[in-house]
Each structure stands twice: as structure tokens, then as C-alpha cells.
Structure 1
Amino acid sequence: MKRDVKRENQLNISRRDFLKTSALIGTAGAITLSGCQPKNSMTSAQGTDVGTGNYPSDKKWDFENPPQSIPANKIIETLQADVVVLGAGLAGVCAAMAAAEKGAKVIVLEKREVSTFHGGWCGVVGSRRQKELGIDIDADEVIADMMRWGAYMPDQRLLKLWADESGRVMDRLLDMADAEGIETIPEPDLKQSWLYKEYDISLRFLPAWNATLVPLIEKNAKAAGAEFLYETPAVQLLREEENGRVVGVIAENLDGYLRIDAKAVIICTGGYENNPEMLAKYAPRALHAASSWYSEGSTTGDGIKMGMWVGGAMQAGGYCPMLFDGGIPGFPLPIGLARQPWLNVNTLGKRYVNEDAPFGYTCNQDINQPGHMKWSVWDAKWEDEVELMHGTVCERLVPPLWSADVLDQSLKAGFIVQADTLEELATIMEVPLDTFLQTVQRYNELAKSGKDLDFGKNSEMLTTIEQAPFFATKSGAALVVTLDGLQIDTNMQVLGTEGKQIPGLYAAGNASGNFFANDYPITAIGVSHGRALTFGWLAGENAVQNLA
């Protein structure tokens, strides 16, 4: 992979820019840890446990039952549009922009009072920015690796479509950014010595990543004529019985129900990570997550359900929750120091895994442990050793994901515990003392030998635990989003149960399926957002092209 001085210059971001990013993104380094009450996505709306997903295959779920049609006399207003976009996240604002700049009358329905954005790495292939920086990406290799991650369950045609079109779509977003003086940077620090190859496909928009990008696209979409209706969630799709075409949507605002007649509807409402019943059916593994990082609570599978109610088919297997390590009960954000590949032990005090695996793989192992939890353990040398840990992407201890006061805040809040002796630490952790001490002794022996004979972790990350004070954090998997949704084809059109297009209905982003399966391929950095922006844009273009 080629590099030049242009690229290196782009990585010299000022501390002031990082601090701006921290304030806007709201990461752990920018907020106080005490007093946070995350939404619990592991229980039903009534507060009852939905279990672990061990249900008979023929079970009929409540969300699968279409609601009664809203009668005409309940409609307080009827609007007209060419294209209605459901959801104003990354996929939704891209769909709105693409359709509006082609001259369509566009209405965007957003459940929340503002648009939604998370994270910041946007994975694309072949953008002009990447070409300027000398980044040469082998798209075939990336696609092949992503197919392996998904056990060849994804639709490879969709992966190729992303690889072919994402650069073009990113170039259009770069035009918007350039006009506003917004800088973009690639991922500066890929892991070189790892069992898994990281692909240099991501770009970030400064200073606040997707908190900069989404409002930028939203602003341009409005300038192109798109109308945004906030706090107005869609509740039902309208589909003609005669020809099966989706011809509009019923939405609800604070005053009542609206009917919007349209020639195309694009579902961009996100996944179902805050719908415990859908998790129980499709992704029961996620029910064992220790926390949820989608704290708004707005992604409850609304668009997916509406699509299913009019005949749309859900992704057929390989359901894919995005699980990240470091989920801390009682806190809805990651604490970077706890996510480093230090020594991990389960609640029995035993080491059980190579701590330096990709996020989803680590989470699978964590979920398999007693209580679905682990302890990460390190010592006073951490500041000297943390560079050796070289966390993957958002695990790295760099601003805005990390600031110097996070350790003190975490200790005060009780998310990190500290002790002067290993015996005292084991008591605080409530793990068997003898077993824990034997585990630490064995780990120290491996570290001093320079080879992990037990689990094969990179020798650079084998650091001893012998200098007081000692630290530990209890964590499990964190549910970020779900990545499977309605089946779509390469036109972004939703498919019915027989594999045929539903006329007038499109989906993109996490409301769409067939792109990911089983585990999120974190090594294809930012590909989730890359899919969202690319397929949202294509959905907008295709919807206008196929207007009846």
C-alpha cells in the first residue's frame, strides 16, 4: 500500500480539533461517568425478560402481526411526494439528497427530534480522497474477506455493488465537505502484526466524524428541496392490492395521523437493537450483551416491521448483531482503557482466550463465559505499555476516544477497580483467589518468555502484571446495532418472500439485509457506514429513476 507525505500531513490534527470532536461525539473522554442510566435493550417494553431465544421455530411473534389499518377518519392531513424517506440517519439523509438533487419532491420522516449519527469511520473504495493519498485498495480481496467473515451467507452482488459505487458516492460527499472547508482523514494506524488483515478503506470527517457528516448532508438535502418532518414516525405503509405497489405511508405526529401519498418509499429506519422481541427471534446472542451503546432507544425495527407487514422478506439467516467488547453494565459508552488486550479472566479467575481477537470474535468468547462476563486486568505500568496493545480502530487510546481524566472518573464511578495487591484485587473482583493467582503467575511466565504458548497472542502484547497498583474492569459484550434487515436486490428494492421486487419499496442501511452475516467484519474498517451512505444514495437515485 503506497504512502506519501500528503497523507502524513493530514494526520497532524490539532488538539483543539480533537477536543471539539469529543464535545460533539459525547465519547467517554468527554463526559462525566457518574449518573448515567443507559437504556436496557435486554428486556421487553413491559420490563419482562424475553429469555435467550430458545423458542420453537413455528412461534408467532407479536411484531409479526400487522396492526389494524388506520381508518380514513383518523387522518388529519394528506401530503403529496414523489419519494418518502423513512429515517434521517446516514442512509436516510443520503437517500433524500440523491433523490432531491434529481428533482424529486422528497419528504423525510424522522422519529426523533433531530437526525441520528454515530461513530465516524466510513468505509469506501476508490474515492478521490483515497487516490490523492496514495491509498490503493484491492476490492476483490476486501470482498473475499468479508464473504469469509459471513460464512458466504451475504449476497456477493451487494458487496461488489458497494465496492463499485462507494467511491463515487463518497466523492459527492467530499464535494459538500470541500465547499464547507471540512477536512477528511483516513485511518492513520492500521495493525501490521495481527492474525487478521485490516483494510485501509475508511475516511472520517472532521472535527466530529459522523456528527459532522450527517448534518452536512442534511443541510444540502434541505437546500435541494427535501422536506424533513421531525417527531413524525412512519407507522404503516400503503400498498395497493391490485398491482402490489407501495403508494405511500401513514405517519403520526403530536397532532395525529398524516397520510403521505408517494410514488416510492425508502426505508432507512435502522435496525432492531432496541426491540427485545426481535432480538430474541433473530439475534438471541445479543440478549447476553452487558450493555447497549445505542442509547437513544429509537431503533426498534419499525421500518423492518412495516416492510414485513406488506410482504417484505427478512434476511434469511446469518443474523448479524454488531457486538463490541468492553460493554460495562450501567454505562452506555466504552471506556477505552478497559478495551485493551490485557489479561482477560472469567469470573472463575481463569484465562480463556487470545485477548487480541476482532471485536465480534472476542464477544463470542466473552458471552460463552459464566455469567457472560469477564475481568480485564492490568497494572501500574499501563501508560508505558498501552502503545504495545495497539487496539483496533476505536479501541485505541487516542482523542477523542480517550482523555487523561477518564481513569480517575472511572475509578470514582466504580467501573474500574484498583488494589495494592493481587490478593486484594481478587477479593474485590470476587474471583477464586488461588485460581486467579495461578492464572496471573502463568501469564507472567508467558510474558517473560516472549511467547503465548496457551492462546497465541502477539508477543508484544504479553506484558507482566506485577507492579502495584493493580487495576481491573468487569465487562461483557456491548450491543451496538443490528446489521440484518429486509432482503433487497442490487436496485435497493425490497424483495417479497418469493424473491420478487415489491414495486415502489426500497431499503438501505441497517434496515436492509443480505450484506452482513454472523459477525461484523471489523477489519473492513467503517464498512457499516460505507454501506449506509452508498446504498442510501443508490436507493434515492433508483427510486427517482423508477417513478411511476
Structure 2
Amino acid sequence: MKNAMNVSRRDLFKFGGVAAMGVAAAGALAGCGQPKLAGTGDAAAAGDGSTYVGPSFLQKPAEITDFAETHDFDVVVVGAGESGLAAIHAALEAGATVGVLQSLSIVQTAGNMGASIDLTKTSEAGIKAALSFINYKSDYRANMGQVETWARNSQEALAWWAEAAAKGGSESKPYDYVVNCNGHDVYFHANTYFHDEGHQKGALIIGDAVQEEGAEIFFETPCVQLYMEDGRVAGAIGEAKDGSHVLLRAAKGVIMASGDYVGDSEMLYYYTPDAKGLHQAVDFRNGTGLKAAMWVGAQMCPASHTKMVHGEGPKVRFEMPYLFLDRHGKRFMDEGCCRMGYLNEFTNKYLAEVDFAESTAAKFFSIVPTNWEEHYEAWKPFSDISIHNAYRNVDPEAWIKGDTLEELAANMIAYADEEGWAHDYTVEAIVESINRYNELVAAGEGDADFGKRDEYMVPIEAPCYAVPRGANNIDALVDGLWCDDNLQCLDADMQPIPGLFAVGNASGPFFGNSNYPMDIEGLSVGRAITTGFATGRYVAGL
């Protein structure tokens, strides 16, 4: 496919691995630390004298050997989301035959924005600085080969997606922005689809296109096991609606593009225990494909996994370090850490207060003065605050307002009641907290309660606003199967498993922090499309 964004790196995929640059960086990986599959090692004794065999999803089922149908392909892809569709297309374009197992009746994606690096504007030092920045934001747990695969190939992959979706009428509204990484400007180009049903509309278009190109998709046929032959993953086994099984044999490899496990509570609380109590966004991403991979020896990335938590206030993500009031109307943190992606660490204690039964206990309010724009300009030189994002601007008309502190408090309570928040606000508690904050500001001796940066200590005087905050919806886990630079799955000894690859949220470690960093907008979707695109072409060339 030729387009303006193509940077002519296609032939490099034939040699040197997925990253197309011969990258040797292995990333800082710790030991897996997860139990062996039941029946593959010594069982531990439980406290009641019975045998503990670990969580149920690690208990390997009986091998399926009876198939109603068998089909042969070069490449088999498990899952038809963003990463799967990209893998299907790239493998087809490279000349491979492709079979696909898809658990749903349609292709399905999530997200609204996919990011790429503009390689025509970003220097080589800037590209390397971006890799270092992502690793820093990932607590230095990222596999740098995987991150480089995204950096080197995202421009081509995202340009393909935009072009392919546009052919069917789903036009991207491009969003270009710059992030300074280690002193270097990195130029990003993102496809955005907030205006057009998100990526799903484009995915349906691309799903039809890859089938016209020759891919055979078995809908409503989830992958329940992988097929082994001579010590190699040689296919994927799907279960049809009638309970029969179909075997898709893979001459070159199986690409796991099955997404994460957010819909499986046992897996979620095992690998991401700090997600307990958050609302699980979907149930169909239940880790089925990941389990099948683990049953043949693939390992999950070390816990705790990186979670993507959303669900903020109305109209805008407003990330400025004003006074925050919790579900009791009390201040609870140094608001200098105001980014949505990290606030879960400060609010998850409130989920325990309601026995993890009500996710809105993580909600809170930001109390904002009417002259907030002046502060934004003054704070920009030394802060990463954000008052808008790529698709909609700040709209104070949508915020809660009060001409007095008492009126503001009453309006906050009315809003929280209408939204069904789990809270025990009182007008008195809210007003008392705001007055205490203003006393600290007036004293001019710094934040004696939480130690916030002095420049952020500004008075909150009526009239003023309250902006609903607090992310309580877990949309995705962006860590999956432990992979090498080429996105080939690894076993417990960090050795590649022949024939098995993973992409998108089924793979890792690309991220590594407990919360998804939002400094590069659209990175998750951009990574999913790009790793699928790169790995599909790589496996087709084996």
C-alpha cells in the first residue's frame, strides 16, 4: 500500500526481526513469579489439608483431539480487534493465507485515538528519547525492542488504518502534537474517531476488506486451546456454538490478538489486585486466548499489570492541581499529581470503605477558581497539567458552579446524588475543607497538610466551580503474555515458544506502571495496531 505516510521500511521486515532495525535491547524483565500449571509441578498443601493447585484459569484442561472441521493456513490469528485486523491485513499483504478465530459475531474494537511518531519530523535522537520516556513512564519495565517496533513502524501502520477506514467512509480527524522527551521534541500524529463512533466503525469496514482480500474469519468461535505438533504451536482450536471444535492449522505461526482479561474477575484480581472494586467495562474480553497460551507454557508478564482506568467528569479531562475533596468532603492528597492515569492509587482506598461493591466511591471533586486560565498560563513552564484533550475543549458551562461556598456545596451534593455516587457529603464538611485550604494559602508558609508545591497554593474564593473527577471504570489491561522483541511468546525460562506470538493488549511488557500513562495520547491503540501490523508481516515471512 502506497501513501504519503509510508516511509519505505517494508523490506526491512524480511530480515532482523519485527523492529526492522536489528534492536538487541531486551528490557528489564523480572522473573515471572506465577505458579506452574496444575499437574506440571509440585502442589502445595492448603491450610485445610487439601491440595492447592492455583487459580482455576491455570488448571490445564484435557486435550481436545476431536475436530468437526480442520483448515490449513499459513498464519492463524486469534481475535479480530485493532491488533488482530492489522495482523490479518499485513500477513495477507505479505502473501500468506490467514485464518481467524473470533469469539464475537462481528469484529470489535475499543478506543478513539491511535498515535504514531512522525518520522519525517522527529530526529533520530528524538526517537530514542521517546523510547526512553516511555520506559521511564513504565517504571523501566518495558521491553525496549517492542517499544522500538512501535516507534519505527507506527507511521506506516496508522496511515494504513486511516486509509483503509476512509475507503469505507470512516474519516479520521488528524491530531498532531509535540511532546518534549529528554529535551528533544517528538512529533506525534494521531488518528482520531471521537466524532465517528470511535474505531469500531472503521474496524467493521476493515473487517469486510480483509475478508474480501482472502482471510477466513470464524465468527462466534472462541479459541479454547492451542494445537501442538512436535513441540511447536501449530494451530488454534475454536469452539463453535454447537459445542463442536474446529482446528485451524498454522504452517508459520499463531498470533494471539485476543485482547486482555478485564472481564474475568479471577484473573483480574490475581494479576491486577489494585483493580478490585472498579467497574469492569466489558465481559467478553475474558482472557480465553491468554489461558490457551498459558496452557502450552506461555507466561504472563509479571504482576501487577498496567490498568487503563477511565470515567472522569463532564465534557473534559481537566487536570489542574486545585483542591480535591473526597467522598466525605475532605481533602486527601497533594493535588500536584492530578493526572487521571495515576489518581487511582489515591482513591482505591475508598473502594474498600464500601466493601468494593460500589465503584463510584472513587469519585471526587476538584474545586476550581474562576481565574483558572491565569494559573494555567503561569504553571505551564514547570508542569504537565492538562486542561483539554484532542477532541473537545474546556467547557466551564458544564461544570458545577456556586456564587457562595454554601451554594457550591449544595450543588455538588445534588450532582453526586443525581449521578448515584456513593458519598456522605455535607455542606458543612465541604465548606470547612475549602476554608481550611484558604487558611493555608493566606498563611503563606506552604502546604502544612500535604506538602503541595507552593506555586499551586492559590485561593479558592466564591464564585467558583466544582469539577467531577475520579476514574472508576477499568476499560483494559495493557499487559499480557510475556514476549521478546519479535513479539514471540516466552516460556518460564525466557525461551521463545516456537510458533506462538502475541500482539496488542495480549502482549507485553510494553507498559509497566500500575496505571496507564496518558502523556502520549493514543499510545495504547497506536501500539495495538502497530504490533499487529508488524507481527503479521513478520510471521508471514517466516
Q: How high is the TM-score relative to the length of structure 1? A: 0.72
1:64 to 1:247, Cα distance in 2 relative to 1, 3 A: same
1:91-490 correspondence runs (5 A)? 91-126=83-118, 131=120, 138-176=126-164, 183-187=171-175, 200-206=187-193, 207-208=195-196, 209-240=198-229, 243-257=230-244, 258-263=246-251, 264-289=253-278, 291-292=279-280, 294-295=281-282, 297-324=283-310, 326=312, 335-336=314-315, 341=320, 343-348=323-328, 349-354=330-335, 357-369=338-350, 371=353, 373-378=362-367, 396=388, 420=407, 422=409, 430-431=424-425, 434-444=428-438, 453=447, 456=452, 464=460, 466-467=462-463, 473=468, 475-490=470-485
Q: Secondary structure at the match of 2:99?
A: strand
Residue equivalent to 1:38: none
Tell me the distance in 1 between the aligned counterparts of 2:386 and 2:227: 41
Kindly indicate whether the alpha-carbon contact (under 8 Å) linking 1:323 and 1:478 is maintained by their aligned counterparts in 2. Answer: yes
Tell me the distance in 1 between the aligned counterparts of 2:451 and 2:184: 19
Q: Secondary structure at the match of 2:482?
A: coil
Residue equivalent to 2:56: 62
Residue type of the alignment partner of 1:76: A
Which of 315-324 and 428-437 deviates more? Answer: 428-437
Residues 147-206 of structure 1: CA distance to partner in whole angstroms, max 9, x if unpaired? 1122212212221222122223234335535656765444357799x9999965241145
Aligned residues: 459
Q: Which runs of 5+ in 2 are unaligned?
A: 1-51, 354-360, 418-422
Tell me the distance in 2 between the aligned counterparts of 1:383 and 1:432: 25
Tell me the distance in 1 between the aligned counterparts of 2:475 and 2:273: 14
1:217 to 1:325, Cα distance in 2 relative to 1, 3 A: same
Kindly indicate whether the alpha-carbon contact (under 8 Å) linking 2:175 and 2:390 is maintained by their aligned counterparts in 1. Answer: no
Kindly indicate whether the alpha-carbon contact (under 8 Å) linking 2:336 and 2:452 is maintained by their aligned counterparts in 1. Answer: no
Residue equivalent to 2:518: 522
Q: Secondary structure at the match of 2:508?
A: coil
1:504 corresponds to which of 491, 499, 502: 499
Q: Secondary structure at the match of 1:307?
A: helix
Tell me the distance in 2 between the aligned counterparts of 1:357 and 1:155: 27
Q: Secondary structure at the match of 1:506?
A: strand
Q: Which runs of 5+ in 1 are unaligned?
A: 1-57, 327-333, 409-417
2:539 corresponds to which of 526, 539, 543: 543
Tell me the distance in 1 between the aligned counterparts of 2:384 and 2:204: 27
Tell me the distance in 2 between the aligned counterparts of 1:277 and 1:463: 46
Tell me the distance in 2 between the aligned counterparts of 1:457 and 1:237: 54
Residues 293-338 of structure 1: CA distance to partner in whole angstroms, max 9, x if unpaired? x33x211111111100011111134521122363xxxxxxx64458
1:70 offset after TM fit, Å? Answer: 2.8
Residue type of the alignment partner of 2:96: A
1:513 corresponds to which of 508, 513, 526: 508
Q: How high is the TM-score relative to the length of structure 2? A: 0.72
Q: Secondary structure at the match of 1:81?
A: strand
Tell me the distance in 2 between the aligned counterparts of 1:120 and 1:96: 21
Kindly indicate whether the alpha-carbon contact (under 8 Å) linking 1:270 and 1:301 is maintained by their aligned counterparts in 2. Answer: yes
Residues 325-375 of structure 1: CA distance to partner in whole angstroms, max 9, x if unpaired? 63xxxxxxx644586546321234224231653323212112245736242
Kindly indicate whether the alpha-carbon contact (under 8 Å) linking 1:112 and 1:232 is maintained by their aligned counterparts in 2. Answer: yes
Query: Identity of paired residues, percent?
Result: 24
